[in-house]
Amino acid sequence: MELINEGLSQQNLPEVKTKQSPDVQIINQTNTQTTRQKPSEPDKDIIGPEVLSVAESNILDTNKLDQALRIAKRKSKDGNHAEAKNIYKDILQKFPKHKKALTTLKLLKGGDTLTPKDPSSSLLQPIIDLYNQGKLQHALSSSNQMLERYPTSVSLYNIAGASYAGLMQLDDAITSYKQALKLNPNCAEAYYNMGLALSEKGALSAAIDSYKKAININPHYAEVYNNMGLALHLKGESVAAISSFKKALKIIPNYAEAHNNMGSALRGNGDLESAINSHKKAIKINPHYAEAYYNLGNTLQRKGNLKSAIDSYKHALKINPNHAQSYYNMGNALRDNDDLEAAIKKYKQALEIKPDFVEAYNNMASILQIKGDLNASIQSYQDALSIKPDHAASFVNCESLQIQISKYYNVDDELKSLANKSLDAQLVENPTHQISLTINDFIQGDNPAAIKRLNRYNELVQAGKTKDLADSDQLFCNAYAKFIDHLIKQSPITPTLNKKKIYHIGESHCLSYAHHTLTTEQQTFCISPVITFGAKAYHFSKPQENQYKSITKWNLDTLPNGSIVFISFGEIDCRAHEGLIQASHKIDTSLEILVENMVKGYLAWFLDANKTNMHRYKFFNVPAPVYRVNYTLEVNNEVANVIDLFNKSLKHQVKNPAVDLIDVYQVTKNESGFSNNCYHSDEVHLDHRILGVIEDQIRMST
């Protein structure tokens, strides 16, 4: 089994989750839904130097009254209650009847219970209107000014908290909600709003606790059940989240947001049909619900229904043309549908709306790589890292590409110049990164470094860190770990890196003889691997450009002209469940013709790529297959047959005088057409024991 890694990351954004905005209504009045607005730039209050009273001095000796009140308020908010009390005492020494100082000092002392008192509705409503209009800084300033007159107003603290939250000043928001709860411990709205702020901070457990307290006070608070469901869903507790959404819907059956969010939780729990139904219910209730169309698209895409997913994203964009996530995930669906140009266009549209959309840069880079535009791909990865230097997916994807085309410098150091220190902790825990650098270290001949990386990878396996990888990435990492571990044990004690080189271009097979020596033309050469992950002979036979051609051409052009170049591709095309065998089952063309056409295109591409380099090619055929006990006899024979056809066609078509054939098939097969187990290191690869045979064949051809 050949080792492959596409280096792609399927990175659909988390679904848009409908979050109720903080409740800023007058307490005990009917709750109505409000919409959190985009934060505006806060106004900057100008506060004079902070001078605290010392010895017998009074703070008003060096500060004006309004400045002293501001300092006291800040101290109280920061939890420095003792200092705040002293400032209010200083104020009362000079202004004994100052209402604000008297009431706040009493509150700080925890003396007599203060009766919460709200302003009249006529005073509160204009502030609420400012909040609902998105004028958050004005709402905050107005509520804080009103608190000077009504320091025990729960509603004002609630409005201030909601305004702080809208401005993303979450710690200040939480402080305001706590003040409201200190005045009224039975204020469900304050617990609910504090839960929103805690959830926004990522403190999901604390948010859930706050939501539960709100429900204990008001068991019929549907918005709380909805947002608690969101927090549970984000924690990965899908079953509990679904239960919470159901409770919200029991209270308000036509609660579109809860239907939409339950669909997302159901998708997270793997119940795609029910998830689709939930999203459709949300859309039926609210036909202009862009987020529900978006989430429906995500679920349809997860189900593999790409056309319907794309249609759903289009509906979302018709309602909200500035929904960057819909463009992004439509790009992902188009990519999965092999419409790469259209996918790139959608990523670019997402970036026009959201220029710091890191995931869009990363996925666009992956598609540019697939298309073979390597420079543009690297630039897009670097754009992602310039926005978010600790974006591990972009770093690891770019690293994988540069390992294949950056043979002559330290890839890790080069990439880390784009990153920051916060990335290091992620990379230490990233199995794909560890294996990528294991491969790079081995290619460079630094076996001690490769062993260190392998040991770290094995620690991550033991810790269960590979379980979250995609199946293809798990296969890539595990197979390379085993193969390189075997090769290191057979490597020369001191790699002869300074000798003249024979370059071995291929996928994982190019590592089989890495850094061993071979004598030909009365000279001793060191075999130097040049890798193209996942490349097949088939990829070079296709007419369109692709990453495998671009990477290999890049490397061929980098080598000194006239180099001896081993070429090892083809194995993956001979697998039982993919490549040539599967293609012959699907189309009305004989296997013989498929093989012949593929080999013809494969050789033609390499010969065309060699017009100016004048390398001396030596094509390797495919070794005899190891008989696999997990396959039936029929499947094993089918694999053996296609390998035989491939090798016969390659031998027949290698006629160019600048090209030789290295036959590793005849010497590795038994009379049944399967491996004789003399040279295989595993079920797929050969190792250095066959070098004597290769050396003899080269000698005979010169």
Query: How much is the pLDDT for 411?
Result: 57
Average pLDDT over every residue of 631-659: 88
Q: In this structure, are residues 81 and 58 in contact, taking their beta carbons and an 8 Å threshold?
A: no
Give the separation between CA 598 and CA 264, rounded to whole angstroms: 45
∠ CA(536), CA(537), CA(542), 5° rounding?
100
* pLDDT surpassing 60 at residue 16: no
Query: How much is the pLDDT for 2?
Result: 33
Strand partners, 675: 669
* pLDDT surpassing 50 at residue 547: yes
Give the separation between CA 427 and CA 435, rounded to whole angstroms: 11
- b/e for 74-106, b at 16 or more Cβ within 10 A? ebbeeeeeebbbbbbebbeeeeeebebbbebbb
* pLDDT surpassing 60 at residue 530: yes
Average pLDDT over every residue of 544-562: 96
Residues in contact with 463: Cβ distance below 8 Å, sequence separation at least 6, in sequence order: none
* pLDDT surpassing 60 at residue 294: yes
Give the separation between CA 614 and CA 223, rounded to whole angstroms: 72
Q: What share of the chain in percent tops pLDDT 70? A: 84
Q: How far is CA 619 from CA 504, 516, 536, 569, 576, in A?
A: 10, 19, 13, 9, 23
* pLDDT surpassing 80 at residue 207: yes
Least confident of 75-79, 132-136, 199-203, 313-317: 75-79
Give the separation between CA 313 and CA 322, rounded to whole angstroms: 12
User: 121-146, pLDDT tens digit by residue?
Assistant: 889 999 999 999 999 999 999 999 98
Give the separation between CA 525 and CA 497, rounded to whole angstroms: 9
Query: How much is the pLDDT for 231?
Result: 95
Give the separation between CA 544 and CA 539, rounded to whole angstroms: 9
Query: How much is the pLDDT for 114?
Result: 54
Helix (H, G, I), strand (E, B) or coil at 669: strand
* pLDDT surpassing 90 at residue 612: yes
Q: Which of 45-59, 334-348, 416-430, 583-597 has the highest mean pLDDT?
A: 334-348
Q: Which residue has the tokens 């599967």?
A: 582
Q: Which of 26-40, 494-508, 599-613 has the highest mean pLDDT?
A: 599-613
H or E element: which one contains 383?
Answer: helix 374-387
* pLDDT surpassing 70 at residue 468: yes
Give the separation between CA 672 and CA 22, rounded to whole angstroms: 75
Query: How much is the pLDDT for 51?
Result: 30
Average pLDDT over every residue of 430-456: 95
Give the closest residue to 621 by CA, choosing from 579, 581, 569. 569
